[in-house]
Amino acid sequence: MMAKAIEEGMKEAGVEVLSKRTVSATANDLAGIDAVVLGAPTYHHDLIASMKTFLFEMEKANLKGKVGAAFGSYGWSGESVQMMTDTMRHIFEMNVIEAGLKILRRPGESSLRQCQEFGRKVAEKIKMTRR
């Protein structure tokens, strides 16, 4: 739900989007991209296993200077967004959108509008880096 809404916002802002699930995504999917937007829920104060695996896969790609953003849902603590953001910034040296998007529990209509707006924000950052 959140990923689709973010994708809609990005497309509305005029950027092309390739959406993949972490279980099927590879470093090859990252070739030639302008940005990576990662999404994962927080589970027991941590990232889910498939996102951890994908982050290791991402190390194979040269993402230095690319736009990065993170989003996720949470029930209590919400650490996953910061973990993904920190990894993109410090390990991959990406140009990260500082405030990732965290949504408490299952997103409702207003949360999905926030997701669309976040997608537009990511798209604008991509356009700025292309100049």
Fold of 2-14+35-130: Rossmann fold (3.40.50)
Task: Note down pLDDT in tens along the chain; length 131 residues.
Answer: 999 999 999 999 999 999 999 888 999 999 999 999 999 999 999 999 999 999 999 999 999 999 999 999 999 888 999 999 999 999 999 999 988 999 999 999 999 999 999 999 999 999 998 87
Integer-rounded Cα Rg, in Å, for the chain is 14
Instruction: Determine the pLDDT at residue 66.
Output: 97
CA distance 111 to 115: 6
CA atoms 24, 26, 28, 32: torsion sign: positive
Instruction: Determine the pLDDT at residue 104.
Output: 93
Instruction: Determine the pLDDT at residue 17.
Output: 96
Predicted TM-score (pTM) of the model is 0.93
Instruction: Determine the pLDDT at residue 79.
Output: 94
CA distance 67 to 72: 17
Tell me the CB-side half-sphere exposure of residue 82, using CA atoms within 13 A. 6
